[in-house]
Chains A and B, each alone.
Chain A
Amino acid sequence: DTAVSQTPKYLVTQMGNDKSIKCEQNLGHDTMYWYKQDSKKFLKIMFSYNNKELIINETVPNRFSPKSPDKAHLNLHINSLELGDSAVYFCASSHGLAGGHTNTGELFFGEGSRLTVL
């Protein structure tokens, strides 16, 4: 019944490794996002996909590569992990683009994936 699900919930890895986080939504939404929440709790948009097309890419290092095989999935692959990548990564989805006036664009978030790079 989980609307937006992410795996894994926790990820501990060494610097330099490559890792992936998966996200799936069963809400029938057409837009999905990856957000990064740092230690100061600030939520920052990384990527947004609408109908499998990349529409937002916010100055994220190209070590981060999102992949959307279909509208219900948006995965995040990170190469050559660095200490500064340690954070909680949230997947979200919406019907229409986020920020709309009504329920359209309301963001539904997953539980988050806490990445710790040692």
Chain B
Amino acid sequence: KNQVEQSPQSLIILEGKNCTLQCNYTVSPFSNLRWYKQDTGRGPVSLTIMTFSENTKSNGRYTATLDADTKQSSLHITASQLSDSASYICVVSARTSGDNRKLIWGLGTSLAVNP
């Protein structure tokens, strides 16, 4: 069964600290993996996309890693800011047929950055 599990469910850190969010998936056949940021009351916004051959990708203070062998991904946030407070959602794309894909969504990690 295709599943995406994220940990921790929620996290509280102090401004300026680093943190790492985890995503484990059992999706096959794997196409790509995305991390989304969802601010409270807003729609999700894509942070990074990673394909099978990519191990790491950065977007500013956000760095995503992917280990396709162990089916794990992480999102590392450096020097956190108050504006990083949001839900971070891992989404894995599974190939279905031809160019078709199915998105498997995680439940997200709720991050609170306190001053």
Size of chain A's interface in residues, with CB distance under 8 A?
23
Stretch from A11-19, A41-49, A60-68, A78-86 forming part of the interface with B: A41-49
Do A110 and B101 touch across chains, with their CB atoms under 8 A apart? no
- In the complex, the answer to whether B107 meets A40 with C-beta atoms within 8 Å is yes
CB distance from A16 to the nearest CB of B (A): 28
Q: Known contacts A90-B43, A97-B99, A112-B41; is A42 also within 8 Å of B51 by CB?
A: no
Of the four ranges (under 10, 10 to 19, 20 to 34, 35 or more), the interface on chain B belongs to 20 to 34
Nearest first, the 5 closest Cβ-Cβ pairs linking A and B are A109-B43, A99-B101, A99-B93, A43-B105, A99-B103
Interface residues of A (CB under 8 A from B): 4, 40-45, 90, 92, 96-102, 105-107, 109-112
Given contact pairs A101-B51, A106-B34, enumerate 17 new A-B contacts (beta carbons under 8 Å). A41-B87, A41-B110, A43-B44, A98-B93, A98-B103, A99-B31, A99-B103, A100-B93, A100-B101, A105-B101, A107-B44, A109-B44, A109-B45, A111-B42, A111-B43, A112-B41, A112-B42
30 residue pairs of the A-B complex, CB under 8 angstroms, read: A40-B107, A41-B87, A41-B110, A42-B107, A43-B44, A43-B89, A45-B103, A90-B43, A92-B43, A96-B99, A97-B99, A97-B100, A97-B101, A98-B103, A99-B93, A99-B103, A100-B32, A100-B101, A101-B31, A101-B32, A101-B49, A102-B49, A105-B93, A107-B44, A107-B46, A109-B44, A109-B45, A111-B42, A111-B43, A112-B43
